[in-house]
Structure 1
Amino acid sequence: MPTAERLYRRLVRPGPVAAGAAPEPARLPANGLRQIAANALISTGDQVVSAKTVLPWLLASLGAPAVLVALLVPVRESGSMLPQAALSPWVQRHRVRKGLWVAGAAGQAGATAAMALAAATTTGAVAGVVVLAALAVFALARAMTSLVDKDVLGRTVPKGQRGQINGIATVLSGVVAITLGLGIRALGGDDVAPPVLAALLGAAALTWVLALVVYSGIVEPPTEPAARPPDGPGWLARSWSMLRSDAPFRRFVTVRTLLLVSAPSPPFVVALAAAEGGVGLGGLGPFVIASGVAGLLGGRLFGRLADRSSRTLLVAGAGAASLLVLAFLALRLVAAARESWWLHPLVYLLLAFTHIGIRVARKTYVVDMAEGDRRTEYVAVANTAMGVLLLVVGAVSGALATIGAEAALLLLAALGLVGVAVGRTLPEVSHR
């Protein structure tokens, strides 16, 4: 038995596979391992280019205006989602699509290198503008890799194994994140200087270079390219038509929006901790460590659960995150709990853990919903719609945050509970 096949079998439980589910199964082990390695590398880089932890810390250290710091998350999240429906027709006109992923990874490497240069050579508003502009380029390049990756995964790996591919990559990036967080604590303690962060960003740029080298070796079965329509509706009209006419897909997009509770909640927990003197969160390192621990503990577990039923995992993760936020708010009403050093970091860790489950389930569900170019359209339209809705929910929760972070958390928890109820109506699409 070849080494690649032996290693793949140790990492991924194949389970029964439907006939024709995986083109060219002899190449499955090598393709699967390359996708695990490439996604682990970019997930490792993501731990550094994080709009929730490292980049806000960097801009604050460089003296950038607070308004630029506030734009980091919207630019990163919406920028990587909004263009995907427009990109989808162009992607579908390519017989082999891994080259588009490689181009997107190269764009992310260049943008990260630009952030490293800005961190090393600029300060104040100039640093903030350069980092934000580089982050916008990064997000656009990520839109391409995100769209293509799910398409290639669906055509090279069968149902019953796709969730595990995502999960194992998450575990590997979690190990690196823990190491990175410990290194940050050792190098900078509670005050990590910009030169250290510039070096970390430079190293992160190399992870995307390595990832594109690995990914380029995937043997991808060619597909018949979609013809360029001479006339007819544009991508925006087609996207709207899909959302109107495809009820199961529309329900998935609705549920995905309602399940935002696990993504925007951690920054509010951090804000509450900072307002009380940073209890339990002495510096940047613990944030990165918590994200790494969540990935390490949850990646493999959630990958296997997603392959059994991504719908069940999606609903259970949202319910757990909503109840966790409500329990956190209830505990804060008790003076002794508010002053406990363990409350904020524990809640941050648990929210990060549930977010891993929701994210793995969401990726697996949308890949398993359809085949071929229909899958590409689903991924693109879902992400573009999500980008728009994320801006809306972000604006509403941000407005509520002016009253208090607790109000924003309460809204997110309520949306999550509604999402649980709607999510239970989703059809089952994963391999059981």
Structure 2
Amino acid sequence: MSAARGSVRWYHRLVDADPEAEAQLGGAERVASGGLRIILANALQSTGDQIVNAKTVLPWLFSVLGAPAALVGLLVPIRESGSMLPQAALTPWVLRARRRTRVWMLGAAVQGLAALSMAGTALLLTGWLAAVVVLAALTVFALARALCSMASKDVQGRTVPKGQRGQVNGVATAVSGVVAVGVGVLLQALGPDLGVGVLAAFLGAAALTWLVGVVVYAGIPEEPTMGGAAPGRDPWLSDTVTLLREDRDFRRFVVARALLLVSALAPPFFVTLAVAQGSSVLVGLGSFVIAQGVASVVGGRVFGRWSDRSSRLVMAAGAVVASLTVLMVVGVVLLDREGLTVPALVAGYFVVSLVHVGVRVARKTYVVDMAEGDRRTRYVAVANTAMGVLLLVVGAVSAGLATFGEVPALVLLAVLGLLGALVSWRLPEVSGRA
């Protein structure tokens, strides 16, 4: 009993107490037990993500292994779209699972094994063959991540009351950020010439974060469901189209989320502009990881609490700040004043990364708060599948504009972000305590 009371005290140090809402989900001890395990498991997963990162660590690994540049360009599309596109098709299978925690555990275990296979590949293979094997492992990793993405929102909705979900997401983000800063500092201390052995060791350590997360997640007190999908043919495609066509509020959320890609897609352009300026500030791998980690630490708790009050307004404000930051950086780049461009790019990279933390926490909180039960699972799956398609489209357009230079691509993303702020602001309010 004392251990249970201790978990409640720890939970309420991290998350604002709400006895009435907690009573509806089995009481403070049950909510605290589930909430703390969700925080720890998500923090472990996010820590692993900082290492198995298609924007930083994996491209660095490819360069060390001598992989062709064309294969490097496949990393981000496979990682991002691969974890989103299949979710609508996987929905019927997930709905049949009586315990959604087990779906998350399966996805996490597969991600851990995929990361472990990347580490082994780095030690045993080189060149294009190593790259192909890593890409295959990343494909499996992304598909497994789709299961975790779908199940985690449902488990959180069943075990954490509205008004605390944003804080749970924010605390997990902040914890992973602290670990990421430590990893980044260690990478920076090892120097710019990181060998294959060091990178393989980090990938192996990342694999452990998912495997430990499986053990943590197994203890979440989740009531089994009856299973939501009947056997037989699953018309997931027609159901997806119907949901987007008939559910106006959900359709507007998907549109808003697509327009908020400015905070996700702008930072890599800042990096390439900084490198073109001859700056060494952002060249080191450790510096990238440190910047992401600091953004998570600073933004996680703050944006989590704000999202519990109004997740739609956090999305809107984040889009405005990101877009204006991008436009100001573009202005400095166009002025080309010596001594100003590189500091502006570095500051812009951090600010947009920080805002991206808020946008991610807010949109996760919004989709969990806007529905209940199996409908929440369908919302998450359809939204992510639609985003997988839209990410490819927006990414392709911005990449096409980038052939004329980074500035046109950044301007397009900033304009889309301002439109996304307007759409987010007009979304119905779903967060906040009833």
Q: Return the TM-score normalized by structure 2.
A: 0.96
Alignment of 1:160 onto 2:166: no
1:5 to 1, 4, 8: 8
Please tell me the residue identity of whatever aligns with 2:334: L
**CA distance in 2: counterparts of 1:263 and 1:23, whole angstroms:** 38
Partner deviation per Cα, 1:108-135 (whole Å, 9 max, x = no partner): 0011011111111221111211111111
Deviating more after overlay: 220-229 vs 412-421: 220-229
Alignment of 1:212 onto 2:241: no
2:141 maps to what in 1?
138
Alignment of 1:151 onto 2:154: yes
Alignment of 1:409 onto 2:407: no
1:239 maps to what in 2?
240
Contact 1:279-1:339 within 8 A present in 2 as well = no
Change (3 A) 1:122 1:19: closer
1:84 to 82, 87, 90: 87
How far off its partner does 1:342 sit? 2.3
**CA distance in 2: counterparts of 1:300 and 1:293, whole angstroms:** 12
2:120 maps to what in 1?
117
Alignment of 1:332 onto 2:337: no
How far off its partner does 1:225 sit? 1.3
Contact 2:19-2:28 within 8 A present in 1 as well = no
Partner deviation per Cα, 1:62-115 (whole Å, 9 max, x = no partner): 111111111111100000001111111111112211111111001000110111
Change (3 A) 1:386 1:338: farther
**CA distance in 2: counterparts of 1:157 and 1:19, whole angstroms:** 8
Root-mean-square deviation (CA), in Å?
1.5
Deviating more after overlay: 175-184 vs 217-226: 217-226
1:315 maps to what in 2?
316
How far off its partner does 1:25 sit? 4.6
1:39 maps to what in 2?
42
Deviating more after overlay: 14-23 vs 72-81: 14-23
1:384 maps to what in 2?
385
Change (3 A) 1:181 1:230: closer
Please tell me the residue identity of whatever aligns with 2:354: F
Secondary structure in structure 1 of the residue aligned to 2:67: coil
2:194 maps to what in 1?
192
How far off its partner does 1:17 sit? 4.4
Tell me the number of residue pairs that the alignment of Structure 1 and Structure 2 aligns: 430
Partner deviation per Cα, 1:249-290 (whole Å, 9 max, x = no partner): 000000000010000111111111122223422411111000
Please tell me the residue identity of whatever aligns with 1:5: V
Q: Return the TM-score normalized by structure 1.
A: 0.96
Contact 1:397-1:408 within 8 A present in 2 as well = yes
**CA distance in 1: counterparts of 2:105 and 2:183, whole angstroms:** 25
Which residues of 2 match residues 209-288 of structure 1 at below 5 A? Answer: 209-228=211-230, 230=232, 234-288=235-289
**CA distance in 2: counterparts of 1:291 and 1:78, whole angstroms:** 21
Alignment of 1:355 onto 2:353: no
Contact 1:115-1:134 within 8 A present in 2 as well = yes
How far off its partner does 1:224 sit? 2.3
How far off its partner does 1:23 sit? 4.4
Contact 1:279-1:344 within 8 A present in 2 as well = no
Secondary structure in structure 2 of the residue aligned to 1:81: coil
Deviating more after overlay: 117-126 vs 386-395: 117-126
Secondary structure in structure 1 of the residue aligned to 2:383: helix
**CA distance in 1: counterparts of 2:197 and 2:344, whole angstroms:** 32
How far off its partner does 1:420 sit? 1.0
**CA distance in 1: counterparts of 2:285 and 2:181, whole angstroms:** 12
Please tell me the residue identity of whatever aligns with 1:234: P
How far off its partner does 1:368 sit? 0.2
1:54 maps to what in 2?
57
How far off its partner does 1:26 sit? 3.5
**CA distance in 2: counterparts of 1:157 and 1:52, whole angstroms:** 32
**CA distance in 2: counterparts of 1:193 and 1:349, whole angstroms:** 27
How far off its partner does 1:427 sit? 0.1
**CA distance in 2: counterparts of 1:225 and 1:143, whole angstroms:** 19
**CA distance in 2: counterparts of 1:271 and 1:259, whole angstroms:** 21
Gaps of 5+ in 2: none
Contact 2:22-2:28 within 8 A present in 1 as well = no
**CA distance in 1: counterparts of 2:118 and 2:45, whole angstroms:** 16
How far off its partner does 1:401 sit? 0.9
Alignment of 1:67 onto 2:70: yes
Secondary structure in structure 1 of the residue aligned to 2:83: helix
Please tell me the residue identity of whatever aligns with 2:284: G
How far off its partner does 1:339 sit? 5.5
Contact 2:181-2:289 within 8 A present in 1 as well = yes
Contact 1:332-1:338 within 8 A present in 2 as well = no
**CA distance in 2: counterparts of 1:17 and 1:418, whole angstroms:** 38
Alignment of 1:128 onto 2:123: no
Contact 2:107-2:144 within 8 A present in 1 as well = yes
How far off its partner does 1:27 sit? 0.8
How far off its partner does 1:388 sit? 0.6
Query: Moved runs in structure 1, 4+ residues, more than 6 A?
Result: none
**CA distance in 2: counterparts of 1:40 and 1:295, whole angstroms:** 11
Contact 1:317-1:358 within 8 A present in 2 as well = yes
How far off its partner does 1:337 sit? 5.2
2:17 to 14, 37, 40: 14
How far off its partner does 1:230 sit? 4.7
**CA distance in 2: counterparts of 1:163 and 1:403, whole angstroms:** 40
**CA distance in 1: counterparts of 2:346 and 2:186, whole angstroms:** 19
How far off its partner does 1:18 sit? 4.5
